[in-house]
Amino acid sequence: MTCAGGTCQVTPADVLAAGDYRWWARGVNNGVAGAWPARTDFTVVP
């Protein structure tokens, strides 16, 4: 994961097959995890 200017990104090692997916991400600050946010739904198209 890399972060710059308050935005972080990650590139997974696996390629997702075409289809519908859900994504959750939550922050951790000084070892304390924050609340889970609402999920983000997305679709991978061929």
Mean model confidence pLDDT for the chain: 89
Domain ranges of the chain: 16-46
Res 9 pLDDT > 90: no
**Which residue do the tokens 């959750």 mark?**
24
Whether 22 has a pLDDT exceeding 90, the answer reads yes
Q: What distance in Å separates the CA atoms of residue 4 and residue 23, rounded to the nearest whole number?
A: 21
Output the pLDDT for position 45.
95
9-15 average pLDDT score: 87
Give me the pLDDT at residue 40, please. Answer: 92
pTM of the model: 0.58
CA distance 44 to 21: 8
Residue showing tokens 């097959």: 17
